[in-house]
Structure 1
């Protein structure tokens, strides 16, 4: 027995020695089939390992740093060790003298790094990468996202035949590198549905479908794109993402959760997208419109962006604690939405992973700390609580002149919270441990040096911060927005972690493409519509969503874009599709939020019992049929149907929504009164037309699914209709037709309407209907 054990030990020793030899030669192949790169990159190979396994104890946070060793900065990493001056963590070219390598590869558990108790382990591949990197000189590179982008040259590709614009060259090059081929262009009907939903949030009309199918000119698709970009619904669709970013809601939040009138700012956002304000103008007005020379009311209204945060109305709170929480919200929003970094991690201490100190956090905080506001103001219930100071009143005269885009439906007093600074400068201190009543060192307005030092030529206020944001040397502003827009049209950003471009964020899948788009965006005056058109005109965007076994095996998440991605459309646009296809949609733009159908008792079960929003009072008439983006959002009880389809509750800035598929979503489509009412209304309208049963079914299919049904699909649906017609009783028909408030035309056969209603309801419940393919 002991001889067999000895043989096993010898064999294991031989295998281990072979593995180490392979690693030293740089030719190791690992269980996942990967080989070490010829040249190991700090940015793409090493930093992710150090960030995940080492920076918590050996990173930027001085308070948590162990043994005085810092590995995120080259000068520190190459220094003699504090606890052993004769040794170094890194010795360029010599892993055998580098304590970092020796400690991660040792078999002595008392010396192993990361420590056993941390439950972190380096894989054999990671250890081999670090060894090879040290052998090659242990060269550090500045974090990719903190280096200003430069326009890369277009890559050479083997097959240029399918490239329509520059985007396709970068994507094609990556596909060839990965051994993948792009899909052919989607068929015209599916492509039209995709681009219509993506650009307007609405399905194409049957008239547009027929016109596009009949247009055989080379410019047919581009003509449709231009038409959709000029449709006022474009501004509404683009605004939905920005409302998530700006945490827009119709209530103040917290327990009392009173009503607020911030919707005129939403009207401005729609207006700005439709007028194609440059991103620079769009953001500058929102950050600092009140500080612009001779600021007009439109510029002041834009600053409502930074007053959308939660505000308490509860008695007994500490004024300064809540005032500082509002400033914190604005600072964190700026970092996440506009810079794509997790600045909030430095609120209580130096950032553990990114090179942002706590002092730098409060220097950024200082830009937003001078707003003329208090922690709590007024009482529950009165009109004065709809907006908090500083505020702006919108008069009827304003609606007739400078604010014509605001949809003010009555002559009631309309007030909006906006930005406005004190006449004097409020002092800003580092808050020790982030506690509101523990001020430390006083700081002046400033920005993280790792991103871009704040220039003395800029004023130390929000206007200066905006100028810093759009400084040509700022490495993040263009990249972050381009990535968000890419995410909106492809389902996933080129950087998957669209709110984190820092050390812990994902690396870009196509770094050269991201840089090319960013530089091009800046050089073309931050033109948003131009950027959007570039994306949807590309061959990459137009691909079919059909997935082959090879694509699924090599690229299950479609990271390399060899096909179009499939995912359900946004919650707001699901309602829009239902309303538009049935003919119920009221296309009025802007105005106050509305309260559509909702299960009873939700608000009443989660409220303090005070204020306008303590009881849900459903709207009636045309207000039931507004676009989904106008649904009133109460933060403590967000709209349930929208929440089920992954809409934001608008508590905090959200730059990316989750995309889930759950049984609850199917139950919503089967039982939501809005869907059932739309089915009833469309059935009644089709039955009033002079056409055959099959023609009615084809018409419904085209309006809802946005393509012509196959003969087999038509036969199945027609057979279903005939069966429903035969078995439908008058009692069952009356019950089915009782849903919803829209009036039923007289003199229609109720059994026919109910039977066709069930067919149409089935169409709304097809996965294809609400899936963007």
Structure 2
């Protein structure tokens, strides 16, 4: 077989072994089909992303005054504002041409930039028309010029009084009057709704007339692509073609909007705005689980969530009163930020980058403004100062996000249950736990005095016993109190020990871990406390260094220590290790979970709470401890905050200085540990050297102690402490209270049940969460000089607020993300409704009313139909922000239903179809092409939601980016799901989609560019996905029909949604015959075709040659512009 090879692809050419003659195909393409060589005309349909500013096309109308906003400002913004605009730092001659006051103000020499009513005396006009290279503006160095036509516009405007106006996008939309049609107009009955009145008026203004209505077949296909993202199956197509009722078209639209495919189609666009990806980006580009947020988006569109609610929940769902898990999940919108976990990066630098990304995405998505341009300096074109930028920055600067972070465990995060039943079960269990905790706590509080007395009595008796009995096999007594004193035999299952000795302790007896045997000696208590990541924990223990020097272990070295393999070879140059005072870790699990308190090789205390080491943990290291052999009291405390700053360490009652080394513990309030407490286990930091230590009087507490209480622990005897200050696990002291014991037992079982559900079924996902109440932020926000993280201008702390040009949130809205979201949805904001209806218009017509849908600022394109845009924005809000209603309104219009077929002569007056005098015609998106090919072949799997899948990809593509990471192709349904679900690695996206202009996932994308390249033809002919689809379609046609004519017609109807003309059928029949001869002559080539893809052959081997020939026919039709074009 021949192979095509390029930088992205190296595919076999299974259909090309006969080298299908180009002249044969070219003859075929010329007959009745839209050839690929004419695909450039798709741009003539009005959807390609041309960037020419509409203002330059508007001719001077002697009956109309020149508009500064529509005609003049676009010229000044593009040629002048860079030096004479908003940016004070780069402003020249102290002249602001965006500001009337400055533009009218005289220079020191008495001249005036703009003299209203007199262009000839206006310095601005004089310099624009000057031929002197040293005087003309813009200067030659700018490489821009003002054309004579543009100079004339400026001249007339000045002579008319040089009236300045507010930028059109900043003026709140007002309901315009719907244009009325002339009674004598031949198109009087053409409008189907108010949209048509606006578009028809613009057509007439520009000497254009509407095209005829598209035929029913094309309208059906068009609607399917625009609403569901895939072409209709022959069955559905025939169903809607057969409906002759008057409202058949509207009924079809209703059916399509009710389909789950609608939510997937809409989500595909929204995910690009949100820069969704399945990995973190940057060099490491590790995996993350953000697909639960994608599920939320699909579901929101399918349930037609009002857009204002859709926006508020994504920006601030966590701040809503009594927010639900779904509302918190929605905030994943702003956690799609690429994350960096590379070695050597600076945490604060990248934390600032992540916040800046949120500002950019929020402003682009909901305001269509390039706010990022004001990060380093005042915006050159729009009324946004750098101070305004950092006020927006402050909305996101209070989150618990860190700079060095990656993966779904990057804080803050939450658990998500993909299965609805699991989610409901978790909610039920959490409610049951809360009820049991309340009952247990009530009993414990009621018996506090009795328990305190019993504790005091038992502690005294325990010490007395330990002075009398010295056994090596010791028992832990009590649920929270291990004094290492009780005799073996009383409860032999409570403690297992090895290589330890009983020695006089701080109080009674202690255990000595002397470093002379396997593991240096350890004790493993069967006491199994439940440690929660959102509840306090205290560890109290007495310890002393047993010997003056460390003891080396020579015998019985373990094969594994701390889950790390140990080899004899690795012991040659080992540093000194530390000593584990107390720890508990879950066994038999992939995740290392629990707590750890240890003294390291540098004689520092280390304390960690671990959910999944090292990704999901908090840890601190203390200052160096003084070296002595006296008994020392160590207390480690965790306040339940899930933050490393909530960890504290004490020595002999005094707080130690400590440094945070890990700060990433987030999640639901669930147990992170159900296991034994271990004492004295060595910490083999690649070492065979252990420290001998004595341990005594261990206590576990589930409350935050005051400094006074910690001092009490360090200075008092156990029976003094037992007087009532520290009751923690009093079950054994309430043994006669059967109801209490029953509730306590049930509570522990229920907590374990929830933990198992989380471990087995839950997915961790990043969400938004503020670290503190917004009126008490954890960090101040300052303007950053030149946008640099390490150059805050601390003269003024900034409060979260909207750009001053738009007003002020103070007093009207909370100055947090929720206040921002509510302002965006309010009538006070002139942009968001316009921005969203413009995006909807872009989705339906291929081009927005404002072509630069990402930029409504001064450098963006002007609206082609400004009154229509305002009418749609107001209609949108009055409909209750109803997205389906607006899309249907657009698609029910006569404007939408126009034919996209046109004579070339009709294109010349309006080549980009700006004024909508014909239907839109443009190439389908990468996802639509792939999904439609799978749909036609019967391979498309329509399972909705769930994790991303990994369909076919060129071999070793990921390794070109990272040699250590291999792409593991899916099997079964994962190969055939919609492109929306294809796994997207940020540093190595899906090649076949990239070639068809799929957007990057590194930043917010509002509109895709569209290109036509030879690589696209190679994908269609040779990518296994399309080869397999061609074969599967051929098998369907071969199995369902008997004659070549029927089979070829079925292939065409599946791909093109129409039957063939006789001349087209003749060409394809000729192609079929030629292919059949070749495959029959070389049957091995047919077998090779059937080896492409995972789908097993649906026909017997005797039919391979014939089906392979039909596969070539399928591929030929699939490669036509008519198949890949939405028209």
Aligned partner of residue 414 in structure 2, secondary structure:
strand
**Offset of 1:398 from its aligned partner?**
5.5
Matched residue, 2:125: 101
Is residue 324 of structure 1 aligned with residue 346 of structure 2? no
Return the match for 1:335 from 363, 368, 388: 363
Q: How does 1:478-517 map to 2 (within 5 A)?
A: 478-517=833-872
* TM-score, with structure 1 as normaliser: 0.92
Return the match for 1:622 from 967, 973, 984: 973
Return the match for 2:1088 from 735, 741, 759: 735
**Offset of 1:490 from its aligned partner?**
1.0
Is residue 211 of structure 1 aligned with residue 235 of structure 2? no
Matched residue, 1:657: 1008
Matched residue, 1:593: 948
Matched residue, 1:11: none
Q: How does 1:523-562 map to 2 (within 5 A)?
A: 523-562=878-917
Instruction: State how far apart, in whole Å, the 2-side matches of 1:99 and 1:292 are.
Output: 55
Aligned partner of residue 804 in structure 2, secondary structure:
coil
1:80 and 1:87 in contact (8 A); partners too: yes
Is residue 184 of structure 1 aligned with residue 212 of structure 2? yes
Instruction: State how far apart, in whole Å, the 1-side matches of 2:782 and 2:891 are.
Output: 47
**Offset of 1:87 from its aligned partner?**
2.3
Instruction: State how far apart, in whole Å, the 2-side matches of 1:54 and 1:32 are.
Output: 19
Is residue 170 of structure 1 aligned with residue 198 of structure 2? yes
Matched residue, 2:831: 476
Between 578-587 and 707-716, report the one with greater CA deviation: 707-716
Instruction: State how far apart, in whole Å, the 2-side matches of 1:375 and 1:539 are.
Output: 52
1:249 and 1:650 in contact (8 A); partners too: yes
Aligned partner of residue 173 in structure 2, secondary structure:
coil
2:103 and 2:113 in contact (8 A); partners too: yes
Matched residue, 2:43: none
Matched residue, 1:361: 389
Return the match for 2:1018 from 642, 655, 667: 667
Instruction: State how far apart, in whole Å, the 2-side matches of 1:607 and 1:710 are.
Output: 51
Instruction: State how far apart, in whole Å, the 2-side matches of 1:396 and 1:678 are.
Output: 30
**Offset of 1:576 from its aligned partner?**
0.8
Instruction: State how far apart, in whole Å, the 2-side matches of 1:549 and 1:410 are.
Output: 63
Matched residue, 1:3: none
Instruction: State how far apart, in whole Å, the 2-side matches of 1:394 and 1:45 are.
Output: 52
**Offset of 1:727 from its aligned partner?**
2.7
Instruction: State how far apart, in whole Å, the 2-side matches of 1:64 and 1:234 are.
Output: 48
Residue by residue over 1:449-495, the C-alpha shift from the partner in whole angstroms, topping out at 9 and shown as x without a partner, is 32343342200100000011111121100011111111111111110
**Offset of 1:100 from its aligned partner?**
1.6
- Return the index of the structure with the highest Cα Rg: 2
> Could you say if the C-alpha distance between residues 570 and 386 of structure 1 is closer, same or farther in structure 2, counting changes exceeding 3 Å?
same
> Could you say if the C-alpha distance between residues 719 and 106 of structure 1 is closer, same or farther in structure 2, counting changes exceeding 3 Å?
closer
Is residue 584 of structure 1 aligned with residue 942 of structure 2? no
Between 497-506 and 152-161, report the one with greater CA deviation: 152-161
2:418 and 2:946 in contact (8 A); partners too: no
**Offset of 1:733 from its aligned partner?**
1.1
> Could you say if the C-alpha distance between residues 98 and 646 of structure 1 is closer, same or farther in structure 2, counting changes exceeding 3 Å?
same
Is residue 45 of structure 1 aligned with residue 71 of structure 2? yes
Return the match for 1:76 from 84, 102, 105: 102
Instruction: State how far apart, in whole Å, the 2-side matches of 1:677 and 1:413 are.
Output: 35
Residue by residue over 1:520-577, the C-alpha shift from the partner in whole angstroms, topping out at 9 and shown as x without a partner, is 0011110000011011111111111112233211011111111122211111111110
Matched residue, 2:297: 269
Residue by residue over 1:317-359, the C-alpha shift from the partner in whole angstroms, topping out at 9 and shown as x without a partner, is 1000000100000001011111001100000000001111000
Residue by residue over 1:707-742, the C-alpha shift from the partner in whole angstroms, topping out at 9 and shown as x without a partner, is 121222222222222232233231221122111110
Aligned partner of residue 797 in structure 2, secondary structure:
strand
Instruction: State how far apart, in whole Å, the 2-side matches of 1:727 and 1:237 are.
Output: 41
Aligned length: 728
Instruction: State how far apart, in whole Å, the 1-side matches of 2:380 and 2:346 are.
Output: 30
**Offset of 1:420 from its aligned partner?**
0.4
Return the match for 1:309 from 337, 362, 372: 337
**Offset of 1:276 from its aligned partner?**
0.2
> Could you say if the C-alpha distance between residues 397 and 240 of structure 1 is closer, same or farther in structure 2, counting changes exceeding 3 Å?
closer
Instruction: State how far apart, in whole Å, the 1-side matches of 2:1107 and 2:987 are.
Output: 39
Is residue 771 of structure 1 aligned with residue 1121 of structure 2? no
Q: How does 1:603-752 map to 2 (within 5 A)?
A: 603-607=958-962, 609=964, 614-728=965-1079, 729-747=1082-1100, 749-752=1103-1106
Matched residue, 1:759: 1113
Instruction: State how far apart, in whole Å, the 1-side matches of 2:419 and 2:946 are.
Output: 17
Return the match for 1:259 from 266, 275, 287: 287
Is residue 391 of structure 1 aligned with residue 744 of structure 2? no
1:572 and 1:627 in contact (8 A); partners too: yes
1:571 and 1:646 in contact (8 A); partners too: yes
Aligned partner of residue 1012 in structure 2, secondary structure:
coil
**Offset of 1:649 from its aligned partner?**
2.2
Normalized per residue, which structure has more strand?
2
Aligned partner of residue 120 in structure 2, secondary structure:
helix
**Offset of 1:402 from its aligned partner?**
5.6
**Offset of 1:124 from its aligned partner?**
1.5
Instruction: State how far apart, in whole Å, the 2-side matches of 1:178 and 1:78 are.
Output: 35
2:846 and 2:920 in contact (8 A); partners too: yes
Return the match for 1:415 from 751, 760, 764: 764
2:355 and 2:397 in contact (8 A); partners too: yes
Matched residue, 2:399: 371
Residue by residue over 1:347-378, the C-alpha shift from the partner in whole angstroms, topping out at 9 and shown as x without a partner, is 00000011110000000110011110111137
1:455 and 1:468 in contact (8 A); partners too: no
Instruction: State how far apart, in whole Å, the 2-side matches of 1:738 and 1:45 are.
Output: 61
Matched residue, 1:141: 165
Matched residue, 2:483: none
**Which structure would you say has the larger RCO, counting Cα contacts within 8 Å and 6 or more residues apart?**
2
Aligned partner of residue 848 in structure 2, secondary structure:
coil
Instruction: State how far apart, in whole Å, the 1-side matches of 2:143 and 2:293 are.
Output: 49
Q: How does 1:406-485 map to 2 (within 5 A)?
A: 411-423=760-772, 424-425=776-777, 426-440=779-793, 441-485=796-840
Return the match for 1:127 from 144, 151, 161: 151
Aligned partner of residue 236 in structure 1, secondary structure:
helix
Aligned partner of residue 415 in structure 1, secondary structure:
strand
**Offset of 1:690 from its aligned partner?**
4.3
**Offset of 1:92 from its aligned partner?**
1.5
**Offset of 1:105 from its aligned partner?**
2.6
Aligned partner of residue 908 in structure 2, secondary structure:
helix
**Offset of 1:188 from its aligned partner?**
1.0
Aligned partner of residue 769 in structure 1, secondary structure:
helix
1:262 and 1:387 in contact (8 A); partners too: no
Gaps of 5+ in 1: 1-30, 379-384
Matched residue, 1:153: 177
Residue by residue over 1:221-252, the C-alpha shift from the partner in whole angstroms, topping out at 9 and shown as x without a partner, is 00111000001100000000000000000000
**Considering only aligned residues, what root-mean-square deviation do their CA atoms show, in Å?**
1.9
Matched residue, 2:551: none
Residue by residue over 1:115-146, the C-alpha shift from the partner in whole angstroms, topping out at 9 and shown as x without a partner, is 23333322222222212111111101100000
Residue by residue over 1:609-638, the C-alpha shift from the partner in whole angstroms, topping out at 9 and shown as x without a partner, is 3xxxx1111111111011111000000001
1:452 and 1:474 in contact (8 A); partners too: no
Instruction: State how far apart, in whole Å, the 1-side matches of 2:425 and 2:249 are.
Output: 35
Instruction: State how far apart, in whole Å, the 2-side matches of 1:723 and 1:373 are.
Output: 63
Residue by residue over 1:571-611, the C-alpha shift from the partner in whole angstroms, topping out at 9 and shown as x without a partner, is 111111011111111110011111111111111111163xx
1:551 and 1:562 in contact (8 A); partners too: no
Between 261-270 and 688-697, report the one with greater CA deviation: 688-697
Between 343-352 and 679-688, report the one with greater CA deviation: 679-688
Instruction: State how far apart, in whole Å, the 2-side matches of 1:307 and 1:161 are.
Output: 50
**Offset of 1:696 from its aligned partner?**
1.4
1:645 and 1:665 in contact (8 A); partners too: yes
Aligned partner of residue 1123 in structure 2, secondary structure:
coil
Aligned partner of residue 525 in structure 1, secondary structure:
coil
2:96 and 2:102 in contact (8 A); partners too: yes
